[in-house]
Amino acid sequence: MIAWADYLYTGNSKSLAQNYAALKNNKLLQQYARPSDGLLNVSGLIDWPTGERDNYVNRYINTVVNAFYYHTLLLMKQIADVLGHTADAQQFEQTAAGIYQSFQSVFFNPAAGVYIDGEGTTHSALHANMIPLAFGLVPADRKAGVVDFIKSKGMACSVYGAQYLLEGLFLAGEEEAAIALMTSDSPRSWVNMMREGSTITMEAWGEAYKSNLDWNHAWGAAPANIIPRFVAGIRPLEPGFAKALIGPQPGALNSLQIKTPTIRGDIHLSMDRQPDRCTFHITIPANMTARFVLPAMCDNYADISLDGNPAVVQQEGTQRFIDPIGSGIHVVVVR
């Protein structure tokens, strides 16, 4: 995951090439694949600390490890494509497709409409559902039930698990629920870290959850990447930000303003929502194009302009977007 993120944000494949053998042979744990269905047969760290696992029943054939396995297989397929390893790419893709089917067969509980923790248990923890949701393992016809289950759990995970909980909710279009979790003042919240006196994100939500926690843990800083990547929606569509995605998911927010650095320069985005319109100011650096995805809150508006002229709006599924937008300063008005 780190290797692919580095390539997406830099556009430099040298690190991928240098580490390809290690990624392929040492990091995938394919030696633990069960011959009958390909699922990894290995216990793993579900969350940290123990009390933050929502009573997850850790089995050797379990949802969390195999969700990560599926996700990394898909990333390895893309890495192999970039490096020209065509046969490897085909193999990774085929293996991932098999894991997807096995995952649905072994881990989905049709009676409850959610995923179980692992083979041999009927228990369903938050983690068994939020991580598959974040990694694209929940089919469309099962998503509503899984999302409802996840939302009913609240922040029943640690600061580490919060990363995947928030990603899953945003990817499922549940930005209001995700933003509510980020701005909550409950005991499991970033507000609670401040309430306990910390000025840097902590290892746990508070001393009640880990008595020997430290007060400078990067893995407690999920909003620091979630806000630019999902609330503002700024992510690379092409390696090295040759093309950027700008797809804000502001939920009920009336305004936002952000500057996101990229290897090609800073992307600026601001939003101002009024009762009759929503205005976006966008600055795109030189040598970059962008796709601007209209937020869900704009669905009820039909008049969309780009720089004072009627915008050409494209649609894929329920998503509406303007593509491409070139470098420079732009204004999108929706009303």
CB 121 within 8 A of CB 56: no
The amino acid occupying position 308 is G
H/E run at residue 131: helix 127-134
How far apart are alpha carbons 152 and 134 in whole angstroms? 17
Residue 46 has pLDDT above 80, yes or no: yes
Alpha-carbon dihedral angle through residues 237, 243, 244, 245, given to the nearest 10 degrees = -50
pLDDT given for residue 279 in this prediction: 97
> For the ranges 29-33, 42-46, 219-223, 331-335, which has the lowest average pLDDT?
42-46
Instruction: Report pLDDT for 43.
Output: 85
- Residue 295 in contact with residue 252, Cβ under 8 Å? no
* Packing angle, helices 63-83 and 2-10, rounded to 10: 40
pTM for the predicted model, two decimal places: 0.97
Residue type, 120: G
With beta carbons less than 8 A apart as the criterion, state whether 175 and 62 touch: no
| Mean pLDDT within 201-207 | 96
pLDDT value for 45: 77
CA separation (Å) from 1 to 68, 237, 262, 274? 10, 16, 19, 39
The pLDDT score that the predictor gives to residue 162 is 98
Q: Which amino acid is at 54?
A: D
- Residue 200 is predicted with a pLDDT of 94
